[in-house]
């Protein structure tokens, strides 16, 4: 009997009774399997089957997984969160621990000119690598300075960026009283440390964070940072990272049921793998996702990685996951993501002491990394989406896939705002998407046409769905894209 047949037998039995012992499955099997063998086959798929296992003596009691209650923020937590998000700096204890770690690893004070010069070289090398085509990169994090450079340059901004993503989840009611979190490709522990920090805003929620990382240097840095910082919050347990390759999920001992899985800035590094193989890897992990859990994939906002993320997200949608955010499929169609460059922004962070010290040179801009710009997708198995799009009955909206037939005409569309302002003071420019367009579509709003009736275009948050009435369609040959010209007579209304 294959593993697949075994799993369908378990599924069948689970459909007939709410609880049973794993040993009861043995009678249905053509080839005998011990309870231990059956458990090893079942464990990675428990969450996908909606089941939980509890060891009882030599056996396992199998029962249906009960949904965990959502963690709803109270007024005081909401207020705390606002204050927290307005902070522009990493916690000072973390900043100090990073400095101490660099000093400890190099044997000299981090601000020693020799160390600073080596950090500068490491940062430049890492950035140069990032801009290379995916298959030409050599991001390995095997050398000490690669990790030290990462701590000095990337860590602060990614740590602060995680705050915004976690806050969005908290406000959407997607956190739980008790959560199991799994961070794949954790590096020096950006996500686990951000969770530990974020949960301090929550009164009673608890979380356990597991992680996987293949680079020893990163694991060492993670250990040092976590030891110094993580004991601060008893609500969060950070498990030591597993040293493993995330492309082989089957070979790792991982929790059965994960409420949140995070791939932060890592899937783009699996450059040798085609999209289908990357999607297969994510789907393997998704077997462990709680039925009401989320997978969060984050990538840098740079065009190639950002577009790569959208292509991957569509591949995952086609494999059965639903896209919770940021995309809205207004017409229920699948999108054409090949030119979908869409990212979110948040207020810049304050440069750290290390960044400021590194910047005391001829090319300061190379060493200060404060902009928060990221592409992300949140995926689920339960079909839930952040935005429910009900097109008002009286709206004769045109699909964006049809704008090419309406050049020079005035039309009405219903689409999500998929960028912050990409224009300038005179002309504001926002990317639009309804999930149907093959070519990029932008809303163009000249500053002198801003009116109360169209102001929502600028003020609506990233991802918001808008009804935009009365816009003029233009083709922009320089970018092979369509512009929808917003004027004083255009009405922009959020759709909720």
Contact positions toward ligand SAM, by CB under 6 A?
A: 141, 158, 185-187, 190-191, 212-215, 218, 245-247, 264-266, 269-270
User: Among residues 186 and 352, whose Cβ is nearest to ligand SAM?
Assistant: 186
User: Among residues 348 and 412, whose Cβ is nearest to ligand SAM?
Assistant: 348
User: Among residues 265 and 375, whose Cβ is nearest to ligand SAM?
Assistant: 265
Least CB distance from residue 217 to ligand SAM, whole Å? 8
User: Among residues 133 and 477, whose Cβ is nearest to ligand SAM?
Assistant: 133
Least CB distance from residue 404 to ligand SAM, whole Å? 39
User: Among residues 266 and 372, whose Cβ is nearest to ligand SAM?
Assistant: 266
Gap between the Cα atoms of 223 and 201, Å rounded: 24
Gap between the Cα atoms of 374 and 344, Å rounded: 5
Least CB distance from residue 373 to ligand SAM, whole Å? 14
Gap between the Cα atoms of 311 and 111, Å rounded: 42
Least CB distance from residue 187 to ligand SAM, whole Å? 3
Gap between the Cα atoms of 308 and 270, Å rounded: 11
Beta strands in 236-362, from DSSP E residues, in sequence order: 236-238, 242-243, 258-264, 289-300, 322-325, 344-346
User: Among residues 184 and 471, whose Cβ is nearest to ligand SAM?
Assistant: 184
Least CB distance from residue 415 to ligand SAM, whole Å? 30
* Residue 344 DSSP SS3: strand
Compute how many other C-beta atoms are within 10 angstroms of the C-beta atom of residue 9. 16
User: What letter does residue 5 receive in the DSSP assignment?
Assistant: H
Asked if 289 and 297 count as a contact pair (C-beta separation under 8 A), the reply is no
User: Among residues 190 and 355, whose Cβ is nearest to ligand SAM?
Assistant: 190
Gap between the Cα atoms of 377 and 138, Å rounded: 25
Phi, psi at 481, each rounded to 5° = -140, 170
| Residue closest to ligand SAM, measured at CB | 187
User: Among residues 269 and 467, whose Cβ is nearest to ligand SAM?
Assistant: 269
Distances (CA, A) of 401 to 8, 406, 437: 41, 10, 4
Least CB distance from residue 467 to ligand SAM, whole Å? 36
Q: Two tokens at 303?
A: 């065009």
CA 39, 43, 49: angle at the middle one, nearest 5? 115
Q: Any bridge partners for residue 473, and if so which?
A: 484
Distances (CA, A) of 4 to 9, 41, 64, 183, 408: 9, 9, 20, 27, 56
User: Among residues 44 and 249, whose Cβ is nearest to ligand SAM?
Assistant: 249
Least CB distance from residue 97 to ligand SAM, whole Å? 16
Gap between the Cα atoms of 19 and 40, Å rounded: 19
Least CB distance from residue 379 to ligand SAM, whole Å? 17
Distances (CA, A) of 362 to 125, 352, 359, 366: 17, 18, 8, 10
Least CB distance from residue 264 to ligand SAM, whole Å? 3
User: Among residues 149 and 463, whose Cβ is nearest to ligand SAM?
Assistant: 149
Least CB distance from residue 219 to ligand SAM, whole Å? 9
User: What letter does residue 66 receive in the DSSP assignment?
Assistant: P
CA 180, 243, 178: angle at the middle one, nearest 5? 5
């Amino acid at each position: 009997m294959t593993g697949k047949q075994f799993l369908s037998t378990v599924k069948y039995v689970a459909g007939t009774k709410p609880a049973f012992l794993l040993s009861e499955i043995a009678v249905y099997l053509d080839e005998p399997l011990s309870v231990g063998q059956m458990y090893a086959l079942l464990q990675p798929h428990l969450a996908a089957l909606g089941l939980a296992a509890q060891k009882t003596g030599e056996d396992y009691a199998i029962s249906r997984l009960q949904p965990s209650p959502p963690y709803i923020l109270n007024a005081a937590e909401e207020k705390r969160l606002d204050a927290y998000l307005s902070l522009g700096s990493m916690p000072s204890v973390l900043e100090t621990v990073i400095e101490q770690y660099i000093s400890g690893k190099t044997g000299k004070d981090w601000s020693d000119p020799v160390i600073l010069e080596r950090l500068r070289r490491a940062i430049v090398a890492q950035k140069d690598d990032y801009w290379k085509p995916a298959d030409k990169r050599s991001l390995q994090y095997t050398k000490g300075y690669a990790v030290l450079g990462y701590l000095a340059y990337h860590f602060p901004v990614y740590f602060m960026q995680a705050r915004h993503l976690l806050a969005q989840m908290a406000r959407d009611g997607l956190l739980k009283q008790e959560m199991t979190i799994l961070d794949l490709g954790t590096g020096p522990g950006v996500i686990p440390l951000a969770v530990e920090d974020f949960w301090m805003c929550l009164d009673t929620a608890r979380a356990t964070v597991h992680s996987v990382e293949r680079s020893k240097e990163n694991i060492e840095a993670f250990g040092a940072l976590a030891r110094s910082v993580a004991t601060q919050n008893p609500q969060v347990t950070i498990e030591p990272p597993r040293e493993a390759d995330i492309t082989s999920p089957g070979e790792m001992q991982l929790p059965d049921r994960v409420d949140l899985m995070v791939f932060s800035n890592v899937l783009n590094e699996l450059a040798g793998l085609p999209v289908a193989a990357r999607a297969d890897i994510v789907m393997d992990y998704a077997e462990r996702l709680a039925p009401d859990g989320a997978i969060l994939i984050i990538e840098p906002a740079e065009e190639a990685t950002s577009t790569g993320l959208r292509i991957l997200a569509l591949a995952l949608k086609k494999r059965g996951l639903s896209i919770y955010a940021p995309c809205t499929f207004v017409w229920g169609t699948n999108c054409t993501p090949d030119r979908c460059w869409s990212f979110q922004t948040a207020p810049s962070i304050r440069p750290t002491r290390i960044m400021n010290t590194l910047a005391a040179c001829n090319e300061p801009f190379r060493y200060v990394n404060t902009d928060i710009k990221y592409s992300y997708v949140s995926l689920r198995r339960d079909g839930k989406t952040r935005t429910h799009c009900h097109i008002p009955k009286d709206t004769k909206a045109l699909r964006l896939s049809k704008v090419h037939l309406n050049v020079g005409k005035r039309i009405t569309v219903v689409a999500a705002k998929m960028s912050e302002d990409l224009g300038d003071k005179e002309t504001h420019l926002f990317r639009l998407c309804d999930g149907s367009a093959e070519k990029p579509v932008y809303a163009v709003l000249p500053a002198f046409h801003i009116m109360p009736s169209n102001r929502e275009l600028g003020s609506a948050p990233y991802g918001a769905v808008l009804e935009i009435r009365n816009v003029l369609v233009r083709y922009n040959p320089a970018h092979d894209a369509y512009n929808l010209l917003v004027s004083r007579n255009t009405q922009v209304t959020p759709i909720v």
